[in-house]
Homo-oligomer: A and B are copies of this chain.
Amino acid sequence: MDAEIIRAAQELRERTVARRRDFHKHAEAAWTEFRTASIVAKTLQGLGYQVLTGDEVVDPREMMGVPSAAELERHFRRALEQGADAAWAEKMRGGKTGVVGVMRFAKPGPTVALRVDMDANDLIEAAETKHRPFCEGFASVNKGAMHACGHDGHTATGLGVAEVLVSLKDRLAGTVKLIFQPAEEGVRGAKAMVARGVVDDVKYVVGAHLGVNLKKNGQVACRTEGFLATTKVDAAFTGVPAHAGAAPENGRNAILAAATATLNLHAIPRHSQGASRINVGVIQGGAGRNVIPPNAVIKLETRGATTVINDYVYGEAVRIIEAAAAMHGCTVAMQLMGGAAGCENDAALVERIQQVVKRQGLFSEIVPAGNIGGSEDCTYFMERVQKNGGQAAFVMIGTKLAAGHHDSFFDFDEEALVPGIALLAGVAAELLTKG
């Protein structure tokens, strides 16, 4: 079957590149992937998958860092103008742009999930001739949204895998779920799909990413463990204004609350069991130089080598923020803006992926994923599957990069797409034949 998969993947080369470039050109940031997601849905439907989207796969109560209703609506209309499938997009209204393609094979077997992400970054794409997407006419037409993290490639890969698996369907046993997640940037989207139960019946889940530390074509990492568990939160302090010269005692100083919180947040004790992080990345407050400041917002994130460590840091942070508000007679409202779990890969599954890599022979070296330091919310899917007794792994696929991730000159080598399709389809076939 390996040879068939490889051939099928190779035949998808042009179509995959075209899809990637189409998604790249119509880049859509988190929760606004109406065009991308509706095309994914329509394509999966055309291939024979049962397609779930909108409320079926996204719990709106758990969506984090969602744009305003006006923003969502504006991007919804833009998507329609740019060729979104209106019927599918309609189901996604309000940002519920997750898509899951399900195929149940005739023979009984495990449920296997593959997960890719679809959203672009909030970035203005470079418009210089040294930037290939610009030269070749597929740079983003949506100013302020740019695929600078490879998710356009991930989505195209996911559709390629969908096609390959259809071609093998008579020989597969069990169920495959192809998860197309919105809003991975800022780790905002996975939680709402997990909360809806999307992977509750899954025995194996595999996520994938292009590049990161693997900057050569031919490299692959079959386990990725450096992701930090994280929580993103905004804390908005509200005090009472007063004239700073005439009646300072009548004020309740929200900037003092925020400043005290900030200092003490950074002073949260290190955890002896592994890396922890805290960052107040943004602060904004005040109503005028001569007014006791009645408002202040801090935007922060906590991280930990494991979910336990991140939970520890986040728990400390909440207590500190609430106490800082109380200290200055202010109130505080906290809003979750993103989150991801820590990441463990199951050795048995990693081993099976490595076997597929070796059998297919499309990668020249299996390397470690290296130090990550960042976060990835595929970990929520993995954690849920592992809690239910299943296995999880996260694969990195090497590719030459024109510039680093999240850089306005980011671009990857499209030659890395076919091996990725073959690998993921191969892993699915392995699990859907041998259980």
- Which residues on A are within 8 Å of B, measured CB to CB? 186, 228, 230, 232, 243-249, 251, 253, 255-256, 258-260, 262-264, 266-267, 269-273, 275-277, 279-293, 296, 299-301, 303, 312, 319-320, 322-324, 326-329, 337, 371-375
User: CA separation between A228 and B270, bound complex, in Å?
Assistant: 14
Residue of A256, A293, A299, A371 most packed against chain B (CB within 10 A): A256
Q: How far is the CB of A295 from chain B (nearest CB, A)?
A: 11
> Can you sample 19 A-B contacts with CB below 8 Å?
A245-B277, A248-B270, A249-B269, A249-B271, A249-B273, A255-B282, A258-B283, A260-B264, A266-B267, A270-B277, A272-B371, A272-B373, A282-B288, A283-B283, A289-B299, A290-B301, A319-B326, A323-B323, A323-B327
Are the CB atoms of B281 and A284 closer together than 8 Å? no
Since A259-B263, A279-B289, A282-B288 are in contact, a sample of 9 more A-B pairs with Cβ atoms closer than 8 Å, ordered by chain A residue number, is: A186-B289, A243-B374, A245-B277, A251-B269, A256-B266, A259-B283, A267-B267, A283-B283, A283-B285
Q: Which 3 A-B pairs rank lowest in CB-CB distance, beginning with the nearest?
A: A246-B373, A266-B267, A323-B327
Q: Are A283 and B284 in contact (CB under 8 A)?
A: yes
- The interface centre, meaning the residue of A228, A246, A296, A322 with most chain B CB atoms within 10 A of its CB, is A246
> Would B286 and A283 count as touching, CB distance under 8 A?
yes
Q: Are A245 and B374 in contact (CB under 8 A)?
A: yes
Q: How far is the CB of A16 from chain B (nearest CB, A)?
A: 30
Collect the chain B residues with CB atoms within 8 Å of residue A324's CB. 323, 327
Question: Which among A248, A259, A277, A337 has the greatest number of chain B C-beta atoms within 10 A?
Answer: A259
Closest to A325 in B: B323
Interchain CA distance A269-B288 in the complex, whole Å: 17
Q: B residues within 8 A CB of A372?
A: 246
Contact B289 A337 (CB under 8 A): yes
The winner among A186, A245, A248 for most chain B CB atoms within 10 A is A245
Number of copies of this kind of chain in the complex:
4
Q: Tell me whether B260 and A270 are in contact (CB under 8 A).
A: no
| A248 CB contacts on chain B under 8 angstroms | 269-272, 277, 279
Partner pick for A262 among B245, B259, B284, CB 8 A cutoff: B259
Given A247-B373, A279-B292, A327 contacting B284 (CB threshold 8 A): no
Question: Which of A253, A372, A375 has most chain B Cβ within 10 Å?
Answer: A253
Asked if B271 and A374 make an inter-chain contact with CB atoms under 8 angstroms apart, the answer reads no
User: Judging by beta carbons under 8 Å apart, are A327 and B337 in contact?
Assistant: no
Residues of B contacting A312 with CB < 8 Å? 249
Q: Is the CB of A292 within 8 A of B276?
A: no
Q: Is the CB of B290 within 8 A of A282?
A: no
Q: What CA separation (Å) do A339 and B103 show in the bound complex?
A: 63
| Contact A269–B292 (Cβ < 8 Å) | yes
CB distance from A324 to the nearest CB of B (A): 7
B284 touches A290 (CB 8 A): no
In the bound assembly, the distance between CA atoms of A271 and B263 in angstroms comes to 18
For A253, the chain B residues whose CB sits under 8 A away are 266, 269
Q: Which of B243, B245, B283, B288 contacts A255 (CB 8 A)?
A: B283
- Residues from chain B with a CB closer than 8 A to the CB of A258 are 259, 283
Known A266-B266, A282-B285, A300-B289: A375·B245 in contact at CB below 8 Å: yes
A206 CB, nearest partner CB in chain B, Å = 23
> A244–B301 contact, CB under 8 A?
yes
Distance A243 CA – B279 CA, assembled complex (angstroms): 10
Cβ contact within 8 Å between B269 and A264: no
Nearest to A327 among chain B residues (CB) is B323
Q: How far is the CB of A193 from chain B (nearest CB, A)?
A: 22
How many Å lie between the Cα of A303 and that of B244 in the bound state?
Answer: 9
Interchain CA distance A283-B254 in the complex, whole Å: 11
